[in-house]
Structure 1
Amino acid sequence: MAAQATREQAQAILEQLAGPNARLRDDQWAAIEALVVQRRRALVVQRTGWGKSAVYFIAAKLLRGAGFGPTVIVSPLLALMRNQVAAAERAGVHAATINSSNVADWADVHARVRSGDLDVLLVSPERLNNPDFRDEVLPALARDAGLVVVDEAHCVSDWGHDFRPDYRRIRTLIAELGADVPVLATTATANDRVVADVVTQLGVGGGDTLVLRGGLDRESLRLSVVSAGTPAQRAAWLGAHIDSLPGSGIVYTLTVSQAHDVATLLRERGFPVAAYTGSTETAEREQLEADLLGNRVKALIATSALGMGFDKPDLGFVVHLGAPSSPIAYYQQVGRAGRSTDSAEVILLPGREDEDVWRYFASVAFPSESMVRNVIRELDTERPLSTPALEPLVDLNRSRLEMVLKVLDVDGAVRRVKGGWVGTGASWEYDEPRYENLDAARKREQQAMRDYQVTDECRMAFLRKQLDDPELTAGERCGRCDNCTGARYDGHVDAAAAEETRQRLMRPGVELAPRKQWPTGLSKLGVALSGKIADGPAAGRVIGRLTDLGWGARLRRILDAPDGEVDDDVVQAAVKVLASWDWAVRPVAVMALDSDRHPLLIGSLARRLAELGRLTDLGTLQYAPERTPVTAVNSAYRVAALDGSWLAPDSAAIAAVGGPILLVDDLADTGWTLTMAARVIRAAGAPDVLPFALASTN
């Protein structure tokens, strides 16, 4: 392709993507020229908002127009995929995605790939080793791809702040590409060590590789650190200041439970906020993201699940309740703010307990050699074992076991097949020096995060130094952070407000947020439900989370024990939770959910609550005889399996009580059981259903 003509075409596509006033930067063109004209490989390390996605969408369309095959984009987060598909459509690029949220669409997408109907296919990294995709779709993609893009490429590196074993499988895809197929790797957060490792991992090294690294200063960000004391004091500080922060934003927490607790606390004070974590359902995430984009919420109280790829150019603030363990991860998260505004507030509220969280996550890193070899030993070379079947045989919980299996798969010691995992019989060496070096690097990053909190240097320069910013000069200061300007937030917290917050955080009871959106793809499973949920339950309550330090251990023992009548102390805890429940209309009746595991426990709890609360006891919502236990993990399949699981309750009895019904269960996990059961009760005439469970999983 002629370079000048190609640049003119690239400019025209950029205007379709970003508007008529957009102009192609010289460094953006350098990357596009390397990929399209020279058919080279490139690594682009540029700050958030630089326009990395514009580079690969423009290159994809130019290559497709020249007769090359579709572009394959490996993308780590669903939010990123949704934004990118929408961006592709604006430029007339036919794009589709394969990920865990659209299982029902996979067959259609595979057919479009085979027919050549797609210009861009976005793939989540875990799909690369799905047996059907790996064996039936991936070979054709590797053979025919016009371009391969690895977005958020720091995930490839052991040294990156967000290493993901699934990303290591990208090496297999790239190894099978033709020599003239260009590869683009992009990230905003990579220091020198990560850049070198990504180049090696992706096989994009050598003299013919273009590496583009730009400056990482963010001229709109005003960085501050505030010392506000205990968790309750910091939550109270946030409640006192959130209304004065500009626009809408994100409040990051270190744990899922903290995200839910803070969201509940702020909502009770009248602030429009919501929790967003890794356990939030995909459809709910989409709605929450849309609410934040549309400024319908003041903030999302989020874990790191809301990060890479979420794009709200006018995000006004990012607050951290607790410090991440890595300044590089911190830079990545605060980079969500101020992309198109003159100023955005970035506030860190560190706590002494942060290091407990750091230690916990470090403790669940790659396990010892003996544990890993035990996994290999339990796997047959012919008879596959599923992860749930393997879990009881090895001394690892589900999440750690899945990580080990993924790493062993990349290393060639095990292989994922239909039905689970098999051993390959190949020799495997435990790379102890590598894991020791990783542990040392992790400790250095933790120390750097401690240093960031107390430094009197420019805070932006400090973060840029951690990322080896090539444009940072000695003694440079941003002129915006609290250290540069001397303007600081007061960390003082009113004693009464702090005590009230502490009491609220210590009380038994956790809010159970209702499902708001049906999962996508239900129509393909024969269920006529879509969009917003209009006939589900109201917000509910549980006594505590299984992960809580207080009630968590007690609740786990109750649910693990043989079924029996409820204990008095559990009933008293339930009464306290119900007494503090600020419901709009008090329930007038109680109904238990049928249960395979704990029918006596649930039934006795419902009866005791009816007696103590003077509620009508409506008995149990019974399973239908043809009902089968639900084993599906995917939400769409789970909802489809739950549809029709219960007999219709007595509508005359429900009409007679004439008010909301308290629905009692043992454990709330995905929320779909309570949602589908509530629909059955409401269809029988209940004006509202208030879910109550002993425990929740998150």
Structure 2
Amino acid sequence: MESVQNAQSPFASNLGQDGGPDGAAALRAEATTLLRALVGREDAEFHDGQYEAIEALVRGGRRALVVQRTGWGKSAVYFVASLLLRARGAGPTLIVSPLLALMRDQVAAAARAGVRAAAINSANQLEWQDISARLEADDVDVLLVSPERLNNPGFRENHLPELIRRSGLLVIDEAHCISDWGHDFRPDYRRIRHLIEQLPPSVPVLATTATANSRVVKDVEEQLAAGGEEVFTIRGALARDSLRLGVLRLPSPRSRLAWLLTHLEDLPGSGIIYALTVSGAEDTARLLQKAGHKVLAYTGRTDPADREQAEAALKNNEVKALVATSALGMGFDKPDLGFVVHLGAPSSPVAYYQQVGRAGRGTPNADVLLLPGSEDRDIWEYFATSSMPAEGPANAVLRELADGSVLSTAALETLVNLKRSPLELLLKVLAVDGAVERVTGGWRGTGQPWTYDRERYERIAAARVKEQQAMLDYENTGGCRMEFLSRQLDDPAAAPCGRCDNCAGRWFPDDVAAEATDSAGQALSRVGVDVDPRGMYPTGMDRLGVPVKGKIKPDAAISTGRALARLTDLGWGGRLREIFGPGAEETPVDQALLQGCVQVLAQWGWRERPVAIVSVPSRTRPQLVGSLAQGLSELGRIPYLGALQLPHGGPSGGPGGNSAFRLASVWEQFAVPEGGAEWFAANPGPVLLVDDVADSRWTLTEAGRTLRLAGAESVLPFVLALKA
């Protein structure tokens, strides 16, 4: 692989100054004119490496990897190269781009430069026909597609072959996603290697990223080199001179929120506050809004239209901050973003640098502050879902698809006990490996042999553990923080920044206003979240011996329930994670927890008071559930009828699994406590159903159905913890 630092033209020795319309001087002049139109400045010039990458693509038809810091101008490289290639008769550029927010910014940036751009993604399906017509009319210079779109049967069969045939340039943005070592590994990105192999040799390829260490660079280079082509790599210094980094350790979630309440308005301009969980982001946004701050939540639960509006509000400085999860990550472009604050640390320095790199792209100064929490490692572990397949489920999927039949994901759920998201991820991995393929109607096996690569997956899992430790080392380092992050990215230019809290001294205050502490404490002590009832049975339950389908009948359904809190909540979530954590001792409910539950019941607002309490028999926490039900009964003066009976031995299997298998494991396993039916007949009204944790909600659904069939007028589920 050819690699350069602060690159000079790889073609300089072979080019004259006036070598015709495609000579070095003429090409650079043409490229500079396009650059100035793109950025809107008549004095704009290329950064070191920008023109060299453009020339490699336009004159050399080469495969190039550009690793440069956020804000360096990687998009300028592919937009200018696209226009130059189009002017020379090439077809449209195909850009593989990972996020909707990034696509929106890229389309807008392209328009400013006179680039006719369009995007195909899950959010604009109604526009696909128009975009297809524009492509046919050669009215598109740049087409952006998500990596997942490459595996859509309709797109793959009807559009991709023609795009490959006509494409003038292939761009892989956020190319670290190609790599197993990359911090944001996505299986569909690995499909790009096959896409590259299908391209004519004359079509140049560009991969770009701001976050890649040496291992990731090597991995991406190997995949770009498909077919034996040489890769030209331009790698610059990754440190950002504009960022002022700091770490502030505070003793609790309450103190961190109180600090934010006290000092948010002191932070420069507008920015992003990152939280580790959806509930953490939503709770923080709610607290700040109540205190009068203009902020909006931005998470995976935010409606796409609301996300777009939130992005626009931040770009237009209409809000002080977006309180976001990692859903607001790669590609969000606001050059004057003044600050990034993290309430809790991401699980790797590379992921952290990716997020803080949103700030200070077009300003000389931006503040970056990490407020780590003692609960961070628990949350990392809670969300530690592997992006590699487990051997047992993988082989189970392949067995079910071995006969060539086409099965939908929903049908596979009744055959393989994996939840929908892990199952879809597993199918993508198997598809990239060539063992299955997505077709109209679902998935089918290809017949190609597949072997579980245990060594590879164990190696990647070990790398994740190492990354977590490195994040903890960043928090505790006494050296330069920017230098630490740069070294994590194997940046040879890593050096002390002279600006961070370790280099120049603490630049942020650490005082917390008393009223802010009180407000934060009240917010964190807030109790009660809804537990939504199941409305539909999973598809194909007859395959598992359960004779149900479609909607759950009203006379068998449960009502909307309540939980004390989510396991991921900042407040009560910490206590609940202790109770339900691995190896935690099982004990009766304590008074603080019981009083919190009483608050939930007091705030429930039910139309009719429960006439009885029934508990779900717990195999792992019988003392906890039984004492909770008994305590609520005594304090609320509601008769406790006891736990549901298990006439057939109780649910089979352990907790978790997908909806179909979970429902099958609890189906007709419960019976009402002795005398329960007679009680319901004599005392019509709601029944409070008590359990410890709600995950799939099928235990509550089936236990509630049992109570309804025995005569309970309605069932109100109540649990300590909600997993979602």
TM-score range (shorter-chain normalised) is 0.7 to 0.9
- Residues 439 and 92 (structure 1), Cα distance of their counterparts in 2 relative to 1, 3 Å cut: same
Determine the C-alpha separation between the residues in 2 that align with 1:577 and 1:245: 39
- Residues 344 and 578 (structure 1), Cα distance of their counterparts in 2 relative to 1, 3 Å cut: farther
Determine the C-alpha separation between the residues in 1 that align with 2:475 and 2:175: 28
**Residue pairs, 1:152-191, within 5 angstroms:** 152-191=174-213
- Residues 365 and 380 (structure 1), Cα distance of their counterparts in 2 relative to 1, 3 Å cut: same
1:269 paired with 2:269, answer no
- Residues 570 and 102 (structure 1), Cα distance of their counterparts in 2 relative to 1, 3 Å cut: farther
The residue aligned with 1:584 is none
Identity %: 59
Q: Is the partner of 1:362 in helix, strand or coil? A: coil
Determine the C-alpha separation between the residues in 2 that align with 1:367 and 1:357: 22
The residue aligned with 1:195 is 217
Q: Is the 8 A contact 1:199 1:205 kept in 2?
A: no
**Residue pairs, 1:446-525, within 5 angstroms:** 446-472=468-494, 476-494=495-513, 497-509=516-528
The letter of the residue matching 1:173 is L
The letter of the residue matching 1:502 is G
- Residues 263 and 16 (structure 1), Cα distance of their counterparts in 2 relative to 1, 3 Å cut: same
Q: Is the 8 A contact 1:44 1:211 kept in 2?
A: yes
Q: Is the partner of 1:227 in helix, strand or coil? A: coil
Deviation at 1:257, TM superposition (A): 1.1
Deviation at 1:379, TM superposition (A): 2.3
The residue aligned with 2:153 is 131
1:320 paired with 2:342, answer yes
Determine the C-alpha separation between the residues in 2 that align with 1:74 and 1:119: 14
Moved more, 409-418 or 103-112: 103-112
1:73 paired with 2:95, answer yes
The letter of the residue matching 2:324 is A
1:6 paired with 2:6, answer no
Deviation at 1:125, TM superposition (A): 0.5
1:99 paired with 2:121, answer yes
Q: Which residue, out of 388, 392, 415, partners 1:366?
A: 388
The residue aligned with 1:223 is 245
Determine the C-alpha separation between the residues in 2 that align with 1:509 and 1:21: 58
Q: Is the partner of 1:393 in helix, strand or coil? A: coil
- Residues 456 and 203 (structure 1), Cα distance of their counterparts in 2 relative to 1, 3 Å cut: same
Q: Is the partner of 2:274 in helix, strand or coil? A: strand
Q: Is the partner of 1:222 in helix, strand or coil? A: strand
Q: Is the partner of 2:287 in helix, strand or coil? A: helix
The letter of the residue matching 1:435 is Y
- Residues 428 and 97 (structure 1), Cα distance of their counterparts in 2 relative to 1, 3 Å cut: same
Determine the C-alpha separation between the residues in 1 that align with 2:325 and 2:214: 27
Q: Which runs of 5+ in 2 are unaligned?
A: 1-21, 532-560, 577-595, 609-693, 695-716
- Residues 511 and 340 (structure 1), Cα distance of their counterparts in 2 relative to 1, 3 Å cut: farther
Deviation at 1:234, TM superposition (A): 1.1
Deviation at 1:200, TM superposition (A): 1.3
Q: Is the 8 A contact 1:261 1:510 kept in 2?
A: no
The letter of the residue matching 1:480 is R
Q: Which residue, out of 51, 64, 71, partners 2:86?
A: 64
Deviation at 1:205, TM superposition (A): 8.7
The residue aligned with 2:603 is 576
Deviation at 1:183, TM superposition (A): 0.1
The residue aligned with 1:298 is 320
Q: Is the partner of 1:97 in helix, strand or coil? A: strand
Q: Is the 8 A contact 1:543 1:577 kept in 2?
A: no
The letter of the residue matching 2:87 is G
Determine the C-alpha separation between the residues in 1 that align with 2:406 and 2:54: 44
Q: Is the 8 A contact 1:228 1:234 kept in 2?
A: yes
- Residues 53 and 3 (structure 1), Cα distance of their counterparts in 2 relative to 1, 3 Å cut: same
Deviation at 1:137, TM superposition (A): 0.7
Deviation at 1:489, TM superposition (A): 3.3
Deviation at 1:387, TM superposition (A): 1.4
Q: Deviations over 1:378-422 (max 9, x none)?
A: 225433222122123222111111110000000011110111111
The letter of the residue matching 1:460 is M
Q: Is the 8 A contact 1:213 1:470 kept in 2?
A: no
Q: Is the partner of 2:241 in helix, strand or coil? A: coil
The residue aligned with 1:17 is 38
Q: Is the partner of 2:206 in helix, strand or coil? A: strand
Q: Is the 8 A contact 1:142 1:174 kept in 2?
A: no
Determine the C-alpha separation between the residues in 2 that align with 1:573 and 1:454: 39
Determine the C-alpha separation between the residues in 1 that align with 2:158 and 2:56: 31
Deviation at 1:543, TM superposition (A): 6.9
- Residues 373 and 240 (structure 1), Cα distance of their counterparts in 2 relative to 1, 3 Å cut: same
Q: Is the partner of 1:416 in helix, strand or coil? A: strand
The letter of the residue matching 1:507 is R
The residue aligned with 2:426 is 404
Q: Is the 8 A contact 2:280 2:568 kept in 1?
A: no
The residue aligned with 2:677 is none
- Residues 204 and 249 (structure 1), Cα distance of their counterparts in 2 relative to 1, 3 Å cut: farther
Deviation at 1:34, TM superposition (A): 0.3
1:429 paired with 2:462, answer no
Deviation at 1:116, TM superposition (A): 2.0
Determine the C-alpha separation between the residues in 1 that align with 2:168 and 2:246: 45
Deviation at 1:369, TM superposition (A): 0.7
Q: Is the 8 A contact 2:409 2:424 kept in 1?
A: yes
Larger Rg: 2
Deviation at 1:443, TM superposition (A): 1.3
Determine the C-alpha separation between the residues in 1 that align with 2:447 and 2:488: 42
Determine the C-alpha separation between the residues in 2 that align with 1:100 and 1:545: 33
**Residue pairs, 1:243-642, within 5 angstroms:** 243-472=265-494, 476-494=495-513, 497-509=516-528, 573=600, 576=603
- Residues 365 and 180 (structure 1), Cα distance of their counterparts in 2 relative to 1, 3 Å cut: closer
Deviation at 1:364, TM superposition (A): 4.0
Q: TM-score, normalised by structure 1?
A: 0.74
1:241 paired with 2:287, answer no
Determine the C-alpha separation between the residues in 1 that align with 2:512 and 2:395: 52
The residue aligned with 2:233 is 211
Deviation at 1:343, TM superposition (A): 1.4
Determine the C-alpha separation between the residues in 1 that align with 2:406 and 2:565: 34
Deviation at 1:254, TM superposition (A): 0.9
